Amino acid sequence: MAESFLTDIVIEPTPAPAAAGVAPIMEVTHITKQFPGVLALDDVSVAFYPGEVHAIVGENGAGKSTLMKVLAGAYRPDEGQISLGGVPVTFNHPSEAQRAGISIIYQEFNLLPERTVMENIFLGREPHRFGIIDYGRLEADTHAVLQRLAADVDIDPTAQLGALSVAQQQVVEIAKAISFDAKVLIMDEPTAALASQEVAVLTDLVRRLQARGIAVIFISHRLVEVFELAQRVTVLKDGQKVATELTSDLTMGRVVELMVGRVLSEYFPERARPEDVGEVVLRLSGASNEALHDIDLELRAGEIVGVAGLQGSGRTALAQAIFGVAPFREGTMEIKGKADMLQSPAQAIRNRFGYVTEDRKYEGLTLKQPINDNIMLTLRSLQRKLSRAFRNGTDGDQAMALALAQRVDVRAPTMDREVRFLSGGNQQKVVLAKWLATNADVLIFDEPTRGIDVEAKASIHEHIRELARAGAAVLMISSELPEVIGMSDRIIVMWDGAIVGELPAGSSEAQIMHLATGQKTSDK
Amino acid sequence: MAAITSSPSPTALDRARAWVRARNIPPVYGILVIIFLASILLDLFFGIDDQLFIFNPTILTNILVRSVALGIVAVGQTFVMIGASIDLSVAYTVSVTAVGASFLMAGEPDRVWWTVLVLIAIGIVIGLLNGTIITKLKVNPLIATLGVGLILKGLLNATFTNFAGSVPSSFQSFAYDAIGPVPISVLVLFGVVLVGWFILRRTRYGAHLYAVGGNAEGARLSGLHTDRILTLAHVMCSVTAVLTGLFVVSRLRSGAPWVGTDGLYDLESIAATVIGGTALSGGKGGVWGTLAGVLIFSLLDTMFNQIGIDAYLKQILRGAIIILAVGFYTFRSKAEQG
């Protein structure tokens, strides 16, 4: 699939960092950025040097993306100063930063798939006479830009962008960024969308940009690539800068320590005792689809299995595959001892599976419906007899909804209240009640406490444990490591669409991060 | 991707396919050809008169003339739809133009030119209004243009209740005269399509309009003034509606407040544009496809007349054909992707 369109890639050894005494090309000092309820950046100062690759690392929510957007002029910092070549600057719009020589490539490309490569690269800057585009020159200019980037790059300026591979589209993005005469190039997770062979192409391009004196700043979750590409690395944690060091002075282990180094302070319910864990309810072996490969997994009654992994590691894909949203194509699935590969959510629900999705508002609830209708939604979909459908809104129906709401402690004045008016924590409890109504005994939680305040969080944790105690098999995905560690009886770690390791209850954040950043394939 | 079993010598069909692909001919022309051939067959077996319509130059010309009114405004509709917007006010703009023209000209040949200029100015104002409401007030285009259309309808109904005045006979040559065998109106239609094609495919403005429709945020980050670009598309759309109105009144001699809505110029221009391959979500499409969509409508009408199909059944068949054509695209693009 990943055809190499850059012929004969020879990746040179990592270049040396900027020599002492070289002035930074861009510098931020004491940057603070506040969002409602979150201090996203707290007094961060970093300097970027010409011809150097600078990686920004940190856990999810550490403030990396916010820092990038401040650098690129998409956000204005509340406090602090940005300077370019020693001169203080203020950006009101990304285009101002772009004109000043700062280009950014976001994780989701901002390209037009229906248009040609050349129209994409020179959008808004097409060579023209009286408004009529000079297509000959446009093609020549595009060719020149691509050549300047890499002499052997083989992309037709007149090709439709959508017909190119993801890696080629990324080269187009980089060419577009460079065509602004960028001095600073910022890349947000540049390798996230690439297959491993295609990463070499990117590595090669980054080296070439570096050789031309461009400062490259990139966010990455993959520490291996950080060490391969960057000469300097800045670690962020909870909006603060922990360290900026030369990569040659660091080890991966040290970076992980800097990234996590926090104390487990939250309270979590007691874990399952060995005698509480029952038989295998769900068994997957060799299960694969487009996003996942070779998944072996067992879920047991009474047990909570935590899933850790970075964004894009396949955590949500696993949940969706089990629940039949994007089913497995190969391998086997056994439900309570019976081989049966689920092909649709309806089938999963009939087998008493429940799935609390990551996106509560759009996938978990019908926001403009009242609490009771939301709670009864899935149960009603199971009722096939017309006679039972007429029970909607009857006393028995209402009583059942009320009982479930009370069981999970939904706090609302009446059961008629539309769900959109509830707090995040209460909304999540309604989703929970919805699956209680169906008596689900295999429950998948994807980010069960995202965006929920501390008190409601503890209550959700208690309810999840309660469900496990009552005999449900629980699979819980979370990007918050303390949550995974605090809740799970077993932890599986995913990377690149596969399960790369299993850790016992109470493993450390560092152990998980080692696996989740792809440093080791297994700890066993 | 490359198939292992590639046939050694390309068949005529393969060569035809390559020819079509190399010239970027929209796939809707395939549908047009199929419907044309089907019409000939139907006419052959079920025609209510002896003569086949393809041998009747009057009927053939009539197909083109039928296409003029819808075709001109559909070019404008294509512009706004490429910009991921839509214009439901065009039918009312057609009415305003038709009534305004016959009222202002009042049968006097020397009032023609300034009347045309006044009506085009009114079209520009309507387009600016639509564009400003959509881009500045951030009102959904469907609602914004429907609202503007209803305001126009109200103004018109409050002022005129029936046919008002008439256009001078010299102005009617727009609809009825011909240069050699080709009617002037057909030349005007092709002129409008050519200008539309040139703007979309050869100018910076066209490239920017595709960008706004394809990815508005990406276009903004590339430094484009997305609001101005979309507003200008609405202005051009309203001006094409004025041209359609002028053609309609030159055919009817006098305009009434219902001529635009009765002609279904709003929904049919959208349908023709979509059948022509312009995406409802914007960023993709072109005016040649729209022209084919319009020709399909005229061809169907002509064929239905030839074989004497009941007026209501005609509407049902039209609806079904629109759904089939658009369904065909979705099916095709899915097949291409996977």
pLDDT in tens, B152-176: 999 999 988 888 788 998 899 888 8
Which residue range(s) make up the domain with B324?
Answer: 33-333
Q: Which of B204, B205, B280 is the best substitution to test chain A (most A C-beta atoms within 10 A)?
A: B204
* Inter-chain touch A131–B208, beta carbons under 8 Å: no
Domain tally, chain B: 1
- Higher local confidence (pLDDT), A421 or A262: A421
Average pLDDT over residues A97-101: 88
Nearest Cα of chain A lies from the Cα of B232 at a distance, in angstroms, of 15
Strand order in the sheet with A87-89: A38-48, A26-35, A79-84, A87-89
pLDDT in tens, B53-87: 777 777 888 788 889 999 999 999 999 999 999 99
Which CATH number among 3.20.20.120, 3.40.50.300, 3.40.1030.10, 1.20.120.530 corresponds to the domain A269-352+441-524? 3.40.50.300
Please tell me which of A239-253, B184-198, B289-303 the model is most confident about, judged by mean pLDDT: B184-198
Structure tokens of A422?
Answer: 């509830």
Looking at residue A522, what is its pLDDT?
43
pLDDT reading at A2 higher than 70 = no
Structure tokens of A390?
Answer: 């007429």
**Torsion, CA A489, CA A490, CA A493, CA A494, rounded to 10:** -90
Of B205, B214, B217, the CB nearest to A114: B214
Residue B158, Cβ density class (10 Å: 0-12 exposed, 13-18 middle, ≥19 buried): exposed
Answer yes or no: is B159 within a domain. Answer: yes
Per CB-CB distance under 8 Å, the chain B contacts of A69 are none
Domains A24-101+183-262 and A269-352+441-524 share a fold: yes
Tell me the domain boundaries of chain A: 24-101+183-262, 107-181, 269-352+441-524, 362-438
Looking at residue A453, what is its pLDDT?
63
A164: left (phi over 0), alpha (psi -120 to 50) or beta: beta
Answer yes or no: is B54 within a domain. Answer: yes
* Inter-chain touch A112–B211, beta carbons under 8 Å: yes
pLDDT band at A148 (very low <50, low <70, confident <90, very high): confident
pLDDT band at B2 (very low <50, low <70, confident <90, very high): very low
Average pLDDT over residues A148-166: 83
Residues 6+ apart with CB under 8 A from A404: A375, A433, A436, A437
How many inter-chain contacts (A to B, CB under 8 Å) are there?
58
Of B202, B204, B218, the CB nearest to A112: B218
Query: Does B223 contact chain A (CB < 8 Å)?
Result: yes
Looking at residue A386, what is its pLDDT?
52
pLDDT in tens, A312-371: 788 999 999 999 999 999 999 999 888 888 899 888 888 889 898 887 777 778 878 888
Pairing of strands A184-188, A102-105: parallel
* Inter-chain touch B202–A133, beta carbons under 8 Å: yes
Answer yes or no: is B5 within a domain. Answer: no
* Inter-chain touch A126–B207, beta carbons under 8 Å: yes
Nearest Cα of chain A lies from the Cα of B185 at a distance, in angstroms, of 28
Whether A174 and A149 have beta carbons less than 8 Å apart is answered as yes
Looking at residue B5, what is its pLDDT?
44
Ranges B23-32, B229-238, B239-248: which has the least confidence = B23-32
Query: If you measure CA to CA, which chain A residue comes closest to B225?
Result: A124
Looking at residue A260, what is its pLDDT?
72
pLDDT band at B295 (very low <50, low <70, confident <90, very high): very high
Query: What is residue B133's three-state secondary structure?
Result: helix
- Give the Cβ contact number of residue B173 at 10 Å: 13
**Which CATH topology does A24-101+183-262 take?**
Rossmann fold (3.40.50)
* Inter-chain touch A95–B214, beta carbons under 8 Å: no
Please tell me which of A239-248, B28-37, B83-92 the model is most confident about, judged by mean pLDDT: B83-92
* Inter-chain touch A124–B224, beta carbons under 8 Å: yes
Q: Residues of A near B (CB-CB distance < 8 A)?
A: 94-95, 98, 110-115, 119, 123-126, 128, 131-133, 135
Nearest Cα of chain B lies from the Cα of A3 at a distance, in angstroms, of 11
Cα gap B7→A172, rounded to integer Å: 34
Cα gap B111→B106, rounded to integer Å: 8
- What is the average pLDDT score of chain B? 87
Nearest Cα of chain A lies from the Cα of B205 at a distance, in angstroms, of 7
* Inter-chain touch A110–B217, beta carbons under 8 Å: yes
Looking at residue B134, what is its pLDDT?
96
Residues in a beta bridge with A216: A53, A185
Strands (E) in A190-336, as ranges, are 215-219, 232-237, 240-246, 280-288, 295-300, 304-308, 330-335
CATH code where residue B177 lies: 1.10.3470
Query: If you measure CA to CA, which chain B residue comes closest to A116?
Result: B207
Answer yes or no: is B205 within a domain. Answer: yes
Please list the alpha-helical segments (H only) found in chain B.
Answer: 12-22, 28-46, 57-82, 90-105, 112-135, 141-159, 173-176, 184-202, 204-214, 216-221, 226-252, 259-262, 265-275, 287-306, 311-337
Answer yes or no: is B338 within a domain. Answer: no
Task: Say which DSSP state A15 is in.
Answer: P
**Torsion, CA B268, CA B274, CA B278, CA B281, rounded to 10:** 100
